[in-house]
């Protein structure tokens, strides 16, 4: 996947969250966490980005 396609996917998730009255940052954290849980991968680093 190219950088442009990745950015488009992120923008789509953010737009969907806003349209549904959700906090975009919280929604992205939820989605990333859910993907990690379903794939069996550890995503601590990904979900920790920007926190703190």
DSSP string, 1-17: --HHHHHHHHHHHHHHH
Task: Reply yes or no on whether the pLDDT at 9 is more than 60.
Answer: yes
- Looking at per-residue pLDDT, the higher value among 52 and 34 belongs to 34
* Alpha carbon distance 39, 33 (integer Å): 10
Calculate the dihedral angle through the C-alpha atoms of 39, 21, 17, 32, rounding to the nearest 10 degrees: -30
Pair of tokens at residue 1: 């996947």
Q: What is the pLDDT of residues 22-47, one digit of tens each?
A: 999 999 888 888 888 888 766 666 55
Q: Which percentage of the chain shows pLDDT scores above 90?
A: 37
Q: Identify the band that residue 52 occupies on the pLDDT scale cut at 50, 70 and 90.
A: very low
pTM of the predicted protein model: 0.60
Pair of tokens at residue 42: 């550890």
């Amino acid at each position: 996947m190219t950088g442009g396609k990745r950015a488009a996917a992120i923008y789509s998730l953010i737009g969907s969250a806003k349209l549904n009255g959700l906090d975009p940052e919280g929604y992205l954290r939820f989605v990333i966490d859910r993907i990690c849980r379903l794939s069996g991968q550890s995503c601590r680093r990904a979900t920790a980005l920007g926190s703190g």
